[in-house]
Structure 1
Amino acid sequence: MRHTLRAGIAGAALLALLTTGCAGENSGDEVTVYSADGLKYQSGDGFYDRAFKKFEEETGIKVNYVEGGSGEVVQRLTRERNNTKADVLLTLPPFIQQAQSRGLLDAYRPAGWEKIDDSDKDADGMWTAVVKNYFCFIYNTEELDAPPETWQDLLDSSYKGRFQYSTPGVAGDGTAVVIKSMHDFGGLEPAMDYLKKLQVNNVGPSASTGALVPKVDKGELLVSNSDVQMSFANREAMPNQDIFFPAMEGKAPTTFSLPYAGGLVKGGPQQENAQKLLDYLVSPEAQKMISDAGGGFPSRTDVTPEGEYAERARKALDGVEIFTPDWQTIDKELDSYLEAWREATGS
C-alpha cells in the first residue's frame, strides 16, 4: 500500500525532529538533505526511498534525510546559516526562491541541466526542478457526485465546516491557494475579497496539506487543497478522493507547476557529495522512477513519464490552462501577500 509521510502519523515525529532534533554529524561519506515532505513514503517505496537507496548503492554515500513543510525547511536552514548542517535543499516554490534570495544557496548546474525547461530552473543555476508537480484541489468522491467546478461553487453553505486549505506561508500548497486565486481573480485585492468570503466555510489553519488528504478520503472534509503528485501517490491507500481545479465562471480551469526544486546549500559541509546527489536526482535513471514511485512528472524533457499514475495525471490535466507565476515578484512580495491574507481571513 502506497502511503506518503505527508499523510501519515510519522509526520508529527518528523516535525519534532525538524524543530528540535539534529541532523547528526556529517562525515565524508554522507550527504544531508533538507526536504519538503511528500516524496518519502511509510511503505518505503516512494521516489526518495528508491532514488536514495540506488544512490547509496552506486556511490557509497549515505543520505541523511530531514523533512518538514516547504517553508519550515527554509526556516531551519536560515537559523543554521552560521553552522550549516544541510548539503542539499529540496522544496517547493516560492520557498526555493526565498532560500535563494536569503543567500542560502550556491550555484550548481547538475549534469543534464540543459534538458530541463527554462521555467523549471534558475537561469544562474541556483536551483533546478527535480520532480514536476501541479497544484490542485481534491474532493470526496463518495459524498459528492462531481466536484465544485468554480470558485463560486465553493462558497455554497453545504461546504461550511467541511472545507479546508493549508496555511499560506507555512505549507507550499497553502501558499499556492493565494497564488492561484490572485491569478484567477486578476490581482491581490479581488483575490483577498474572495478568500474573505470563503473563510466562512473554512475549518481553519493547517500546517500540513498532507494531513488534509485522509480527512477528505474519510469524508470529514468534502474538499481541501492538494497537489497532483500527492493525490495520485495516495490513491491506493485513500481511494475516495480525486482532483479538480476550480475555475472562474465561464473560463477554463487553471493550475501551475509547483515542482520539488533542488539547490546546493551554501557552506554545506559536503558540497562534493551534494553535487553528486543532485546529478543523480536529475539523471535519466532517477527521473524514470518518478511517475511510478512518486506520482509526479520527470523534470527532464527527454524522459517520458510512464505507468498508470502518469496516464491518470495526464488525463487530469486535459483542458486545464497552465500558467507560469512570476516567482521573482512573488518572492519579493510574499510577506505583503501573506499579511493581506491574514487581514482578509482573520487568521
Structure 2
Amino acid sequence: MYKFLGLVLLLITAPALSKTLTIYTYSSFASDWGPGPAIKKTFEAQCHCQLQLVALDDGVAILNRLRLEGKRSKADIILGLDNSLLSTAKDTGLLAQHQVELPKLNLPNGWHDDTFLPYDYGYFAFIYNAEQLSQPPHSFAELLERPELTLLYQDPRTSTVGQGLMLWVQTLYGERAARVWQNLAKRTVAVTKGWSESYGMFLKGEADLVLSYTSSPAYHLEIEQQTQYQAANFSEGHYLQVEVAAMLKASKEPALARQFLTFMLSPDFQQHVAQGNWMFPVIDTELPDSFTTLITPTPSLSLDSEKIRLHRSHWLKEWRNSVLQ
C-alpha cells in the first residue's frame, strides 16, 4: 500500500515529459560533421524540449516529402529549401506565416517574405583542383568553348544545387539553354542525385570540375589545410542561393516552432553556419580566416521565385531532353 502511494506521489511530482519539435532538413545539415548536432544541443538547453532532426536527401526531397504527407505531416518546421522554391512551396497551402520580427540581415538582395526565414546564403560555382587543372575557365562562355574540360553536377529534379545550375544557365542563356545543356552533356562524367556523390567523385579525380559553392574551398583550407581546391570565378556572375526555413500550419507546437525560427536568426545559431554548413551567415558573425581567401562573385544572379514556379517544369523537361540526346 505504501509502495503504491509512493509511486503515485512520484508520478504526480515528476516533471512532465518535454515537448518535441520535429524539423525536416537535409542530410548534411543533420550529419555529425554538419551544424545540426551543435544547434540541437544549444536549442534544447534553451527550450527544455527535444529537437528531432529528420534527415532527407536535399531541399527538393524535403518539398516532395511535404507534398506527399500534406496535412498529415509530422514536421513542425521544414529547413533546407531555398529561394528558388518559395512560390512552389507556398502553393501547397501547408505553411504558416512566421510572425518573427527580423533583425538586420546581411543578404545581397535583402529579404521580404512573411512565410520563409533565411538562415544562410552562398553562390554556386565550379570547383577545380589547381594541382590538376592549371588553367580553369574564367567565364561560363569559356567553359562552353573548352570541350576538353570534364564535369560533374547534380540532377536538378532531386538537388537544389543541380537546380541552381539550371537557373544559372537560364539566367545567362534563356532560350539558348538547350544548346548549353547539349554542349555540357558531351563531357559530363555523371549527373548525381545529390551533392555528396558528385563531390566525392571529384575528390577521387574523376572530373576536372564539380558543381558546388564558392565557399567550398574554405572547408578544405580550414579542416584539411589544403589550398589546391579553388572556385572558378566566372565573369558573368554566379547564381545566388538563400537557404530558408518555415513552419507548418499543422504544427502541434506552433509556439515552440516560432521560438526556433527566432533562435535561427540569433548568434547562437548563426555561429555554426560558416564552419558547419560552409555557407555565409545572414547576420553579422565573425568568419574564419579561410573565408577571406574566397572569390567575390560579381554580379550576384537570381530569378524571381514566381517565374521559377511558372517555368520550372518546362525547364526541367528541356534539360532532360537535351542531356538524353
TM-score when normalising by structure 1: 0.79
Q: Is the alpha carbon distance of 1:114 and 1:104 closer, same or farther for their aligned partners in structure 2, counting shifts above 3 Å?
A: farther
**Conservation of the 8 A alpha-carbon contact between 2:264 and 2:270:** yes
Q: Give the SS at the match of 1:135.
A: strand
Q: 1:255 aligns with which of 220, 234, 238?
A: 238
1:306 and 2:284 matched? no
Q: 1:341 aligns with which of 311, 319, 324?
A: 319
1:94 and 2:84 matched? yes
Q: Is the alpha carbon distance of 1:305 and 1:332 closer, same or farther for their aligned partners in structure 2, counting shifts above 3 Å?
A: farther
Q: Give the SS at the match of 2:195.
A: coil
Look up the equivalent residue of 1:201 and give its one-letter code: R
Q: Give the SS at the match of 2:143.
A: helix
1:213 and 2:199 matched? yes
Q: CA deviation at 1:117?
A: 5.1
Q: Give the SS at the match of 1:165.
A: strand
**Conservation of the 8 A alpha-carbon contact between 2:218 and 2:291:** no
How many angstroms apart in 1 are the aligned matches of 2:216 and 2:253? 30
Q: Give the SS at the match of 1:80.
A: helix
Q: Give the SS at the match of 1:126.
A: coil
Deviations 1:61-101 (A, max 9, x none): 22111222111111011111131111111122323432112
Q: Is the alpha carbon distance of 1:311 and 1:226 closer, same or farther for their aligned partners in structure 2, counting shifts above 3 Å?
A: same
How large is the RMSD of aligned CA atoms in angstroms?
2.4
Task: Give the corresponding residue for 1:138.
Answer: 127
**Conservation of the 8 A alpha-carbon contact between 1:84 and 1:269:** no
Look up the equivalent residue of 1:158 and give its one-letter code: E
Q: Is the alpha carbon distance of 1:115 and 1:321 closer, same or farther for their aligned partners in structure 2, counting shifts above 3 Å?
A: closer
Q: CA deviation at 1:181?
A: 1.1
Deviations 1:127-159 (A, max 9, x none): 011112221111122211132223344343423
Deviations 1:237-256 (A, max 9, x none): 5945321244xxxxx23113
How many angstroms apart in 1 are the aligned matches of 2:23 and 2:187? 38
**Conservation of the 8 A alpha-carbon contact between 2:22 and 2:76:** yes
**Conservation of the 8 A alpha-carbon contact between 2:107 and 2:121:** no
**Conservation of the 8 A alpha-carbon contact between 2:191 and 2:198:** no
How many angstroms apart in 2 are the aligned matches of 1:238 and 1:203? 28
Whose Rg is larger? Answer: 2
**Conservation of the 8 A alpha-carbon contact between 1:217 and 1:238:** no
Q: Is the alpha carbon distance of 1:195 and 1:181 closer, same or farther for their aligned partners in structure 2, counting shifts above 3 Å?
A: same
TM-score when normalising by structure 2: 0.84
Q: CA deviation at 1:116?
A: 6.1
Once the two structures are superposed, the pairs formed by residues 129-168 of structure 1 within 5 Å of their partners are 129-155=118-144, 156-159=146-149, 162-168=150-156
Look up the equivalent residue of 2:53 and give its one-letter code: Y
Q: CA deviation at 1:171?
A: 0.5
Look up the equivalent residue of 1:141 and give its one-letter code: A
Q: Is the alpha carbon distance of 1:269 and 1:60 closer, same or farther for their aligned partners in structure 2, counting shifts above 3 Å?
A: same
Q: List runs of 5+ in structure 1 lacking aligned partners.
A: 1-26, 247-251
1:84 and 2:73 matched? yes
Over the matched positions of the two proteins, sequence identity in percent amounts to: 18
1:179 and 2:167 matched? yes
